Chain A
Amino acid sequence: MTFRDFSLLVRDTKVDGFVEGLLRGELLASRCTGCGALAYPPRSDCPRCYNSTFEWVQITGAGRLVSFTSVFVTPRHFTPDLGNTAPFSAYRYCPAPVGIIELENGLRVMGWILGAAEAELEVGMRLSPQPEVLPDGRATVVLKPAGI
């Protein structure tokens, strides 16, 4: 497992534990051990106090949908007819809606929206973020209607 199993492009970061978390079924944010600032996506370096140690915090609960779209004209990794067998193109996420939710603590999470058709989505509705492991072993983040 490398970070690229989530990112598709970048292999090395100081927050590789995020992907390990997804594979364990946990969605992780970071908390700066200096000033306590929460960050999602997680980051190893705090832009507020410039401390570079952090601890992992699990994200739970639901958030409010800020915006969403479905991408029909897709980039390379998501274009099945380019013959790539990779990730999400061969699976069910293309073109699934993608959204950003805002949690009660103010953190914002991007993810694939599952369990609701695009026509059923509305800005402001509640969705909960969850880790998802794909059949090929890669990991991503999904947003599901709260309660599912």
Chain B
Amino acid sequence: MKQVAVVGVGQGRFGIRCDASLRELAFEAVKACLADAQIDLGEVESMVASVASDELSFALQPSAQISDYLGFVPKPSFRVEGACASGSMAVRTGWMTVASGLADLVLVVGAEKMTEVPTATATDVLGRAGDPIWEYPFGMTFPGYYAMIARAHMARYGTTEAQLAAVAVKNHHYGALNPYAHLRKEITLEKALTAFMVASPLKLYDCCLISDGAAAILLASEAIAERFAKEPIWLSGLGLGTGTLSLSDRNDLTTLPAAAEAARQAYSMAAIGPKDVDVAVVHDCFTIAEIVAYEDLGLCPRGEGGRFVEAGETALGGAVPVNLDGGLKSKGHPIGTTGVAMAVEIVKQLRGEADPGRQVDGAAIGLSHNVGGTGQHAAVHVFSLDKGAG
């Protein structure tokens, strides 16, 4: 199979970005990405944009807002969507564009401006990440769905609220070290456990933020991958799974079957197993989601996720460090951006460019796990320092 490499990465600051529009956020990330690869936009042949929601961006075609503002006209550009996994869909589409031979150099941009609308509107839009016909009428929200997953996990495996909070404490610790993160502050276990209830049993610090921000990566073919300023990082495994629209239609609420399927595909394509992963970013839109992710990825046995994080196995120095960028929890979750930002973080980890205090020494294989909605879509990508046999 054709090999595809990441040859440039860039991102802007995540947060409540009252100072910038969607297109301006995208520009920040692309400018940083081009500078990282030391090329001009003129060399880029094709672009894939990820913006998850039209209702947040006030546009039917957010990709046109971005490509025009970047000065990319008239070259190929379009937008892909997969809810909160949109960014990984764009990475996957970029990989396909390069691997098919359609282009040698492709720009993948993720951008989302979520704070243009009131929180209740954003809650409403995100609540429809479940079934807008059969679940929304019960006042279900995004936290509500994951709250049901948490309750089911607690009932079956004895997972505790303190174990959920341990995810938040860890991710805030690393987010505080990340200059691009939305909420750069440490929190204590007690603060997390006594915060107000969002959707029982999930409390404020069990939930990710509503954030603005953008990220971009450049994907190159094997033929040109060595021509750029930084050493190429190979996108060696891709997996994509699909789950039922309604949570009610799942036989088991303690797993996201789409994510387990995506992991199986990605490990198989990269010819690795969970034990080979040196560093991972997983989709911690809620603390329970990170615990379920450990299990779906095979980083720990089923039901052990709560104890795994509590024992420090996913902190720096543990069995497999997870979300050393602060995760969605602390770095923020501009939904269409997240999958691209995950690629940015793993590339930085494998290059040894992560900030002091959150760099895994000698990491050679990294993994991203990105979930859309409540697991209707899930993408797992494997990144490697060494080029595979192909």
Q: Which residues of A contact B (CB under 8 A)?
A: 6-10, 13, 41, 66-79, 82, 88, 93-95, 97-98, 100, 108-112, 118, 122-124, 140-141
- Most A C-beta atoms less than 10 A away, residue of B134, B138, B141, B148: B138
Inter-chain contacts of B196 with A (CB < 8 A)? 72
Q: Are A69 and B148 in contact (CB under 8 A)?
A: yes
What does the 1/0 interface line of B191-219 toward A look like (CB < 8 Å)? 00000111111100000000000000000
Partner of B151, one of A67, A73, A74: A67
Q: Using CB atoms, name the residue of chain B closest to A13.
A: B133
Chain A residues, CB < 8 A from B144: 69, 71, 98
**In whole angstroms, how far apart are the Cα atoms of A93 and B128 in the complex?**
19
A123: nearest chain-B partner, CB-CB: B155
Interface residues in B209-252 by Cβ distance below 8 A to A read: 246-249
Q: Which of B133, B140, B148, B155 contacts A7 (CB 8 A)?
A: B133
**Cα A124 to Cα B154 with chains together (Å):** 13
B135 within 8 A of A: yes
CB neighbours of B147 from chain A (8 A):
69, 71
CA of A25 to CA of B221 in the docked complex: distance in angstroms? 62
Contact code string B140-154 (vs A, CB < 8 Å = 1, else 0): 110110011101100
Task: List B contacts of A67 (CB < 8 A).
Answer: 148-149, 151-152, 155, 253
A72 to B147, CA, bound (A): 11
Most buried by B among A75, A78, A109, A124: A75
> Measured between C-beta atoms, what is the minimum distance from A51 to chain B in Å?
19
- In the complex, chain B residues whose CB is within 8 Å of the CB of A7: 132-134, 136-137
A9 vs B134: C-alpha distance when bound (angstroms)? 10
Contact B120 A82 (CB under 8 A): yes
Cβ-neighbour of B253 out of A66, A110, A140 (below 8 A): A66
Tell me whether B132 and A73 are in contact (CB under 8 A): no
- Report whether B155 and A98 are in contact in the complex, using a CB–CB cutoff of 8 Å: no
Asked whether A140 and B138 contact (CB < 8 A) given A100-B248, A123-B155, the answer is: yes
A73–B118 alpha-carbon span in the complex (Å):
13
Distance to closest chain B CB from A4 (angstroms) = 10
Whether B155 and A41, one on each chain, are in contact in the complex, defined by CB atoms closer than 8 angstroms, is no
CA distance A118 to B128 in the complex (A): 24
- In the complex, 21 of the A-B residue pairs with CB atoms within 8 angstroms, ordered by the A residue number, are A7-B134, A7-B136, A41-B133, A41-B134, A66-B253, A68-B151, A69-B202, A70-B197, A71-B141, A71-B147, A71-B199, A72-B199, A73-B141, A74-B139, A75-B123, A75-B141, A76-B121, A108-B249, A109-B248, A123-B155, A124-B155
- For residue B127, CB closer than 8 A to chain A, the reply is yes
Q: How many residues of B contact A (CB 8 A)?
A: 36
Q: Which of A6, A73, A94, A109 contacts B123 (CB 8 A)?
A: A73
Interface residues of B (CB under 8 A from A): 120-121, 123-124, 127-128, 132-141, 143-144, 147-149, 151-152, 155, 196-202, 246-249, 253
Contact, CB under 8 Å: A73 / B198: yes
A110 touching B138, Cβ below 8 Å:
yes
Question: Residue on B with the closest CB to A76?
Answer: B124
CB closest residue in chain A, given B253: A67
Instruction: State the Cβ distance, B159 to closest chain A Cβ, in Å.
Output: 12
Q: A69-B148, A100-B253 are in contact. List 17 more A-B contacts (CB 8 A).
A: A7-B133, A7-B134, A41-B133, A41-B248, A69-B151, A69-B199, A70-B200, A71-B147, A73-B199, A94-B139, A95-B139, A100-B247, A110-B135, A110-B246, A112-B138, A123-B155, A124-B155
Q: How far is the CB of A48 from chain B (nearest CB, A)?
A: 14
Contact B139 A110 (CB under 8 A): no
Q: In the bound complex, what is the Cα–Cα distance between A77 and B198 (angstroms)?
A: 17
Determine the chain A residues whose CB is within 8 A of the CB of B124 once the complex forms: 75-77
A71 and B137 alpha carbons, distance in the complex (Å): 13
